[in-house]
Each structure stands twice: as structure tokens, then as C-alpha cells.
Amino acid sequence: MRLLSAALGTAAVQLIQKYREFCNNQLKAAVDEAGSALQNISKELLTLDFRGLREQLARREKSANESGNARPIYRALDLKEA
């Protein structure tokens, strides 16, 4: 009986080790995938031309103000005034 218990104990330990390896591999794959996605998004953000965007928005705002077409953002978004 002791031999059977020892064999079952060894098998249980091996099964738990395999399960932990399986779970760790899934976690590692998920972490790697998230890291890759973050890296891709970071690259895209770093390529944005914020200065050019700011200048373009300033020109549009100036043009809207000069033409009388400017309106507060809450109206443009159809929101109630705060």
C-alpha cells in the first residue's frame, strides 16, 4: 500500500508540475503579446506630429473665429452648458 501511495504521490507531483508549466506558458504568451501590442502602440504615438497638429488646430480655430463660425465645444458636441 505504501508503494502505491508513493507512486501516486510522485504522479501527483509530476501532474502539478506539468500543470504549472502549462499555466506559466499561457501567462508568458499573454504577457509577450501584451508587450508587443504596447510596443506597437508606443511606436505609433512617437511618430505623431504633435507640433504640426497643434499648428493646424490653431489655424482652424483662428479661421473659425475670423469667419464667425466658432462655437464653444459644448455646443459643437451638443452638450448642455456647464
Domains of the chain: total: 1
Assess if residue 82 is contained within a domain. no
Average pLDDT over residues 9-32: 85
Assess if residue 15 is contained within a domain. yes
Provide the whole-model pTM: 0.43
Assess if residue 81 is contained within a domain. no
Assess if residue 65 is contained within a domain. yes
Q: Which domain holds residue 68?
A: 2-76
Are 37 and 45 in contact by the 8 Å Cβ rule? The answer is no
Between 60 and 6, the more confident residue is: 60
Tell me the per-residue pLDDT of 28-59, one tens digit each, with 9 for 90 and over. Answer: 888 899 999 999 999 988 888 888 888 888 88
Assess if residue 16 is contained within a domain. yes
Pinpoint the alpha helices (H) of 1-82.
Answer: 2-47, 50-67, 73-76
CB proximity list for 80: less than 8 A, separation 6 or greater: 74
